[in-house]
Amino acid sequence: MDAPNEQQGALLMRHRLGPVATAFGLHAAVVLLGGWLGMDIVAHGPFWWYPSSGGWWVVQAASRWDSHWYESIAQAGYRLGAGVAFFPLYPMVVAAVGWVSRLSVIASGALASALCFCGALWLLHASCEAKYGRAVADRTAMLVGVLPMGAFFSAVYPSSLYLLTIAGTLWAISRQHYWAAFCAGLLGALDRTSGVLLATAALPGMWDAWSAQRLRGIARVLPALAGAPVGLAAYLVYLWVRFGSPFLVTRWERKFWGIHATFPGWAQVAAIVRWARGLPIVFPVLPGNSWYAFLVGDISTIAVAVGCAVMLLRREWLGAALFCALSLVLATSEAGFHGVAAPGRYMIVLFPAWAAIVARLRDDHWSLVFAISAALCVCSAVLFAGGYWLT
């Protein structure tokens, strides 16, 4: 009885391993090309000084901007200050990888991101295949790896880990492994504030369970709904116990970066108007390529909005659609000292929306979208490695 199941499992692993390895290989090739150009060919930007001393250039190119916050927390833990705005899961993973590998903190961060991205691609492919079929799953995995801001998946940033928790949550819910979904949602909320929205992915399942079994059905699905709020509450309680207030995240985001809530999309519209009038998009300390980050961010945001609208209107993969739509609203509802928190790198993790778009592209359109996205990914990797503003 077990032999057919083992053979089926082996075949399933082989047919998924190829597309995942291809997607990761394409991502690595594109990011390495951009990193090499940014480190050695293109003139360095004004933020080249961010921690990149010593070690291989591949590792140096992965550490820019907010990377030093995560590296500092991984090495020394939290101290009262702006660092509390960075959630603890990724620094914990970096510290664990460093403890096992004995690599430097920057190399450990790059390795942790690469490993998380491999796992995320695997679960992403499994989730998309269940909803749209193998061909769409293959293409979605390849596209996610070379999205315009896809370089962040290999950087010392929590993007790949967050993608892993999203893919894990959706995969577990689709297979009714609700305690696994609890764990994935909890980890997602410990990785990023928006991770608490992973709870919404369980809402359609809650409704179906109520319709079928009333309270007994609700009790089965409840762990998938509870994981993300428990994760967020755990970090807030830690801040309360350690530093005396559970509201330090928002307090320091506003004090250090000027981040505040706005009407969804208003900051993006204001930036476009300023650009059209020939005014600076951001405050003067930022380099002149800031228009690129906003352009790519707006394109990515519009694409994700289209994908969300398709899923919601057609009522397909409803839990994932709710999560993506609310994440889109949250990402476009923030502004900072520089006018807007560029949403491009927040869009790359919302793979269900990208899958909905891929499922509706013809072969020739798919090839064009992939080529354009890969070219933009190279540009983003060049700017990131070269010390230019991209986030």
HEC assignment per residue over 128-183:
HHHHHCHHHHHHHHHHHHCCCCHHHHCCCCCHHHHHHHHHHHHHHHHCCCHHHHHH
Which pairing describes strands 334-335 and 260-261: parallel, antiparallel, or unpaired? Answer: antiparallel
Query: Residues 150, 163: contact at Cβ < 8 Å?
Result: no
pLDDT confidence of residue 342? 57
C-alpha radius of gyration, the chain, whole number: 21
Banded pLDDT at 261 (limits 50, 70, 90): confident
Banded pLDDT at 52 (limits 50, 70, 90): very low
Rounded mean pLDDT, 155-174:
94
**The tokens of 229 are what?**
């709020």
pLDDT confidence of residue 148? 87
Q: Which amino acid is at 333?
A: S
Banded pLDDT at 67 (limits 50, 70, 90): confident
218: pLDDT strictly greater than 60: yes
Question: Could you identify the residue written with the tokens 């409704």?
Answer: 207
286: pLDDT strictly greater than 60: no
Q: Is 330 exposed, middle or buried (0-12, 13-18, 19+ CB in 10 A)?
A: middle
Query: Residues 344, 292: contact at Cβ < 8 Å?
Result: no
262: pLDDT strictly greater than 60: yes
Which DSSP helix (H) or strand (E) runs through 335? strand 334-335
**The tokens of 201 are what?**
């992915």
In a 3-state reduction of DSSP, which class is residue 334?
Answer: strand
Q: How far apart are alpha carbons 278 and 358 in whole angstroms?
A: 36
Give me the DSSP letters along 253-280: HHHHH--EE-STTHHHHHHHHHHHTT--
Banded pLDDT at 275 (limits 50, 70, 90): low
pLDDT confidence of residue 293? 67
Q: How far apart are alpha carbons 67 and 152 in whole angstroms?
A: 10
Of the candidates 258, 261, 188, which has an alpha carbon nearest to the alpha carbon of residue 227? Answer: 188
Q: Is 138 exposed, middle or buried (0-12, 13-18, 19+ CB in 10 A)?
A: buried
Distances (CA, A) of 273 to 279, 282, 290: 9, 12, 14
360: pLDDT strictly greater than 70: yes
pTM summary value: 0.90
pLDDT confidence of residue 1? 44
